[in-house]
Amino acid sequence: MNMKKALTLAALAVVALPMAQAAKPKFCIYDPLGTTGEGYRAAKDYQVAMQKHGYEIDIKSYLDERVAVEDFRTGQCDGVMATALRTRQFNSLSASMDTVGAATIVRKGKIDFEGSMEVVRRFIGTLSSPKGAELMKQGNFEIAGIIPLGAVYPFVNDRSIDTLEKAAGKRVAAFDYDKAQAQLIQRVGARPVSVDVTNFSSMFNNNNVDVIMAPSIVYKPLELHKGLGTKGGVGRFPLTIITYQLVLRGDKFPDAFGQKSREYVFSQFNEVVEVIKRADKDIPEKLWIDPTPADNERYVTLMREGRIEMAEKGFYDKKGLKLVKKIRCSVYPEASDCTQPTENW
């Protein structure tokens, strides 16, 4: 080999070396069921979809949400998928859907589940559109997708706890990293008991707490029937809508990645809703506790008052709640608060 050719090959090798060593961006995926859960399966589909757009990513499963988010915060992951209760620190506006009662619609005393999910759809659709892109960025962090996990219901170990007032004095699980949750529980005279995602179900199943709030998708995998026993039940009232949120470190991805990601995630909305509906049906009908029409109307008001109080204390994003109200009133303009100045900061 002549010297000129050898130098050329050496130069090419030097140029190629960084490309060969460049690691794919890594997503930390929280799923309490690990690689067998719906969340992780959705992440695998997401990985394939982004590959079709020309983006290669790696995903890593986490059983502990706290660890997943901390690894992301400290730069060990370039992206994370976790619940909005944990990701609120990276973008408080996108977590507004997860605030108490934000999407809940009650029409003439009856829960409008379809209407509530329409609020969720419009909220996510608005933030997933190009016009909402700037709202998805906060510092170096960017929300790359929002996935609804369904309504959060109260699971009680005694069906006699069938109103908020009857929860007074009861032990209610409160996630230790959501300070607003503990205060909202205290507002109804109940006793918040600190838990996290790794132990809240076992605390309920072992009778260490009387009440937990959870979406129906965890009923079967976390064996919550054990905590319900023969006396318990599930209140058929959506306290909030919980979401998964995909968060990126903006400097680790091309500019176009976030928007492509949001559009793909939103395209899966209808499919995700079907999963949620099936999960609701997994809870035997005999276990459901239906509030009276009067209680439904009263709960909507109580949740609105609690939401406003928490926003004034700085726990919730006022701009986000204003957007949710605008959307909620576009779905159900007859609601009493739609003619009131509340949440119009």
Instruction: Encode pLDDT of 128-142 as tens digits.
Output: 999 999 999 999 999
Report pLDDT for 3: 47
Tell me the C-alpha distance between 345 and 343, whole Å: 6
Question: Two tokens at 52?
Answer: 């079709």
Whether 1 maps to a domain, the answer reads no
pLDDT bin (cut points 50, 70, 90) of residue 179 is: confident
Report pLDDT for 11: 46
> Helices 257-267 and 113-128 meet at what angle, rounded to 10?
160
Characterize the bridge pairing of strands 141-156 and 171-175: unpaired
Q: Can you give the CATH number for the domain in which 147 is found?
A: 3.40.190.170
Whether 13 maps to a domain, the answer reads no
What total number of domains does the chain contain?
1
Cα 272-196-93 angle, rounded to 5 deg? 55
Whether 123 maps to a domain, the answer reads yes
- pLDDT, one tens digit per residue, over 141-170 is 999 999 999 999 999 999 999 998 999 999
Which residues, listed in sequence order, are joined to residue 175 by a DSSP beta bridge?
195
Count of helix runs (H) and strand runs (E) in the chain: 12, 13
Range 277-301 burial, b when 16+ CB lie within 10 A, else e: eebbeebeeebebebeeebbbbbbe
Whether 313 maps to a domain, the answer reads yes
User: What's the domain range around 92?
Assistant: 22-339
pLDDT bin (cut points 50, 70, 90) of residue 2 is: low
- pLDDT, one tens digit per residue, over 26-68 is 999 999 889 998 899 999 999 999 999 999 999 999 999 999 9
Tell me the C-alpha distance between 216 and 100, whole Å: 17
Report pLDDT for 7: 43
Question: Two tokens at 307?
Answer: 């939401």
Question: Two tokens at 286?
Answer: 């005999």
Cα 67-71-73 angle, rounded to 5 deg? 115
DSSP 238: -
- Amino acid in position 247: V
Whether 42 maps to a domain, the answer reads yes
* pTM for this entry: 0.90
Which among 59, 43, 55 has a CA at the least distance from the CA of 255?
55
Tell me the C-alpha distance between 191 and 182, whole Å: 8
DSSP 29: E
Tell me the C-alpha distance between 116 and 118, whole Å: 5
Tell me the C-alpha distance between 230 and 222, whole Å: 17
Whether 226 maps to a domain, the answer reads yes
Q: Are 235 and 289 in contact (CB under 8 A)?
A: yes
Report pLDDT for 227: 98
Contacts of 157 (CB under 8 A, 6+ apart): 204, 207, 210, 211, 227, 228, 229, 231, 232
- pLDDT, one tens digit per residue, over 226-242 is 999 999 999 999 999 99
What is the separation of C-alpha 49 from the centre of its chain, rounded to a whole number of angstroms? 21
Q: Phi and psi of 187, rounded to 5°? A: -60, -30
Which among 264, 44, 39, 303 has a CA at the least distance from the CA of 150?
39
Whether 179 maps to a domain, the answer reads yes
Whether 17 maps to a domain, the answer reads no
